[in-house]
Structure 1
Amino acid sequence: MQNYNPFSLRGKTILVTGASSGIGKATAVECARMGANLIVTARNEERLNATLAALDVESGQKHKAVIADLLVAEQMEKLIVESGKIDGLVLCSGKGLTLPFQFSSRDKFDDIFETNFYAPVELMRVLYKKKQINKEGSVVILASLGGTEVFSGGNCIYGASKAALNSVMKFCAKEFAPRKVRVNGICPGMVDTPLIHRGTVSEEQLQEDMKRYPLKRYGRPEDIAYNAVYLLSDASAWMTGHAMVLDGGMSI
């Protein structure tokens, strides 16, 4: 059948958080290439506008950028109002921290959980409560291999925040099912984004670490974006409550 593509996002409106760089940006770009209308949001206006400019419009889509810090209630509310009705939500915003447990004080946990867990979960909660996620819509939550499959030293706070996301994903998949809204997660291994180049690990250590992966490389942002497209599309219409591991074979 000509033009048949179960992975198409044509006609769908997708909201992507953390869209100014890394996985969020790649996800927005690939969703647009698959025909979706994008609402992209992040805190950095310059980088977010660069993402907006990179989005495909060949299928006549209309895209929108909303500058918002999800930790600021008024900005969260503005994002919710400007998003309107959506068919897909991809929660990509987050940050990392490498710190031995003995130094992982409550304030450090609070800081990471505010960004990685509380803010995205509150956005999802309000959008669902207000019925802004259309029937048969899809939510994709970016978790991590860290804290769910791999427990490396110094990663307890970050890993705990991602494990919490993974748990909420499963509860929401069950609660959202009556409205036919699916909720799934992605648990990537190391992905080559600015998050891993923040100086806590040297480039030499990163190169050495890559050798542990059976496919001998870290993931690229688009590797994760393609999986997000699948979970947002009708191709995954019978999948909910599942955390997909994308790790170049690391977990085996």
Structure 2
Amino acid sequence: MTFPKPLAGQKALVTGANSGIGKGVAIALGVAGADVVINYETDKDAATEVVDTIRAGGANAIALQADVSSPSEVDAMFARAIEEFGTLDILVANAGLQQDAPFTEMTLEKWSKVLDVNLTGQFLCAQAATREFLRRGVVPSVSRAAGKIICMSSVHQVIPWAGHANYATSKGGIKLLMESMAQELAPKGIRVNAIAPGAVRTPINTSAWSTAEALKSLLTLIPYGRIGEPEDIARAAVWLASDESDYVIGTTLFVDGGMTLYPGFATGG
């Protein structure tokens, strides 16, 4: 049986794609027909494994190292990606990290590092992608849009998170960065949206699900009764990158098993 490839002929770049959600998204984009740039900062071997997986499925892929908070490294990465693939049609700005601490003990270094990667990194990558989308314009045989940007946010763009002020602030910032870009770029044929994952089984949050006790506690926050998998986010990303969502602009798609429904109030609070 031949399955449709909604992203056939398109070129994508996924930041932080050597593990976790980014890895899942990159592989799914490849399955959907896109050639994919695998961005990583560390662990080249893991990035190479993702490249091999995508190539084995019939799409092309390359791994490019860059710190997304560095303007010069982002510029060099996008220049190399465009040199290799000819252009880019899709950006999934996924790279992110946590450096947690109680508010009174959080250092400026931890604050700045998380904001630099999670928020400024998305700004820099989205800016570079937008410049390429505008240079090339719409190619109707490839996509109805000139380009698609998907910002990876979090349920913590709306749920406060004690002990994680820098992370929650970065995700709240992504919300309005995404919406402001969407408002400005939609008239130019560029669609900007976001995905807000809930609890997903990734290396960044192993302590939240790696023991039976921790998982039981976590599931009290998820009405649907299971932890998310990278594939749950990946399927949403493929849809947002495809023409099937062509009229979706400036929207955050929460993929969270109902976490943002405030389950503590299900029995009256």
1:190-225 alpha-carbon deviations (Å, 9 max, x no partner): 11100002x589733343212331121211001000
User: Are the aligned partners of 1:140 and 1:231 in contact in 2 as well (CA < 8 Å)?
Assistant: yes
Matched, 1:140 2:150: yes
User: Partner of 2:38: helix, strand, or coil?
Assistant: strand
2:232 is aligned to 223
- Residues 245 and 200 (structure 1 numbering): CA distance in 2 closer, same or farther, change over 3 Å? closer
Partner of 1:150: 159
CA shift, 1:106, in A, is 2.7
Task: Please point out which of 18, 32, 35 is paired with 1:34.
Answer: 32
SS of match in other structure, 1:70:
coil
Question: More displaced, 33-42 or 232-241?
Answer: 33-42
Q: 1:132 to 1:69 in 2, by over 3 A?
A: farther
Moved over 6 A (4+): none
- TM-score normalised to the size of structure 1? 0.90
Q: CA deviation at 1:97?
A: 2.8
Q: Which residue of 1 aligns with 2:80?
A: 82
Matching residue of 2:44: 45
Gaps of 5+ in 1: none
Given the two structures, how large is their TM-score scaled by the length of structure 2?
Answer: 0.85
Residues 98-150 of structure 1 deviation map (CA, whole Å, 9 limit, x = unaligned): 3222223433211110111112211211231353675311100000001x222
Kindly provide the CA deviation profile for residues 55-90 of structure 1, in whole angstroms up to 9, marking residues without a partner as x.
15555x322221222234442222010121211100
Give the AA of the match of 1:17.
Answer: T
2:247 is paired with a residue whose SS is coil
1:191 aligned onto 2:200: yes
Aligned-residue Cα RMSD (Å) equals 2.2
CA–CA distance in 1 between the matches of 2:136 and 2:172? 24
Partner-residue secondary structure (3-state), 1:89: strand
Relative to 1, partners in 2 of residues 1:155 and 1:81: Cα closer, same or farther, differing over 3 Å? same
Secondary structure at 1:245 match in 2: strand
Aligned mates of 1:73, 1:251 — CA distance in 2: 34
Tell me the matched-pair count.
247
Partner of 1:98: 100
Distance, in Å, in 2 between the alignment partners of 1:238 and 1:133 is 21
Q: 2:65, 2:210 → 1: CA distance?
A: 32
Change (3 A) 1:35 1:129: closer
Separation in structure 1 between the aligned mates of residue 94 and residue 220 of structure 2, nearest angstrom:
27
Q: Are the structure 2 counterparts of residues 119 and 247 from structure 1 closer, same or farther at C-alpha, using a change threshold of 3 Å? A: same
For 2:55 and 2:161, the matched residues in 1 are separated by 39
Q: Which residue identity is paired with 1:82?
A: R
State the partner residue of 2:254: 245
Question: What does 1:100-139 correspond to in 2, within 5 Å?
Answer: 100-130=102-132, 131=134, 134-135=137-138, 136=145, 137-139=147-149
CA contact (8 A) 1:96 1:158 kept: yes
> 2: CA distance between counterparts of 1:45 and 1:182?
31
The Cα shift of 1:249 comes to 1.2
1: CA distance between counterparts of 2:60 and 2:198? 33
The answer to whether the Cα contact below 8 Å between 2:22 and 2:95 also exists between their aligned partners in 1 is yes
Which residue identity does 1:99 align to in structure 2? A
Report if the CA contact (8 A) 1:215-1:248 is conserved.
Answer: yes
Give the fraction of aligned pairs with identical amino acids, expressed as a percent.
28
More helix by share: 2
